[in-house]
Amino acid sequence: MLHDWTDAEATAILRRCAAAAGPRGRVLILESLGSLEADPAMFAEMNLRMLVLSGGRERTIDDYRSLAAAAGLRVAAVHDIPARHTILECVPATADT
């Protein structure tokens, strides 16, 4: 989970993960993204908590796409799983799939 990190820190983490995964690897990000659509008030509350407690914030899928791009990755797939969690599957920005 990256929601408890600032954008700069989250980008650095993704960049390190991308380097470790290599040119053919994948980086998986697990987040609770379902609350934005299901309960905007809950999303706003968690966003405020992350800001106050750690300097982080809740993000949308588009926000994660931007972080991934800044780290040289792109979101290749988004997988929703039970309990309102989402896995964003990232690959190097130059990868075909």
CATH number for position 59: 3.40.50.150
Considering the domain boundaries, does residue 24 fall inside one?
yes
* Regions in the chain scoring below 70 on pLDDT: 34-38, 95-97
Distance CA 14, CA 74 (A): 11
Considering the domain boundaries, does residue 1 fall inside one?
no
Tokens (6 digits) for 38 = 């299901």
Distance CA 49, CA 17 (A): 26
Instruction: State residue 94's pLDDT score.
Output: 84
* Domains of the chain: total: 1
Alpha helices (runs of H) in 1-97, residue ranges in sequence order: 7-21, 34-38, 40-54, 61-70
Tokens (6 digits) for 80 = 């929703």
Considering the domain boundaries, does residue 2 fall inside one?
no
Catalytic site residue from 3, 46, 57, 64: 3
Distance CA 66, CA 72 (A): 10
Domain, as residue range, for 48:
7-92
Considering the domain boundaries, does residue 79 fall inside one?
yes
Considering the domain boundaries, does residue 71 fall inside one?
yes
Report pTM.
0.81
Considering the domain boundaries, does residue 97 fall inside one?
no
To the query of whether residue 79 is one of the catalytic residues in this protein, the response is: no
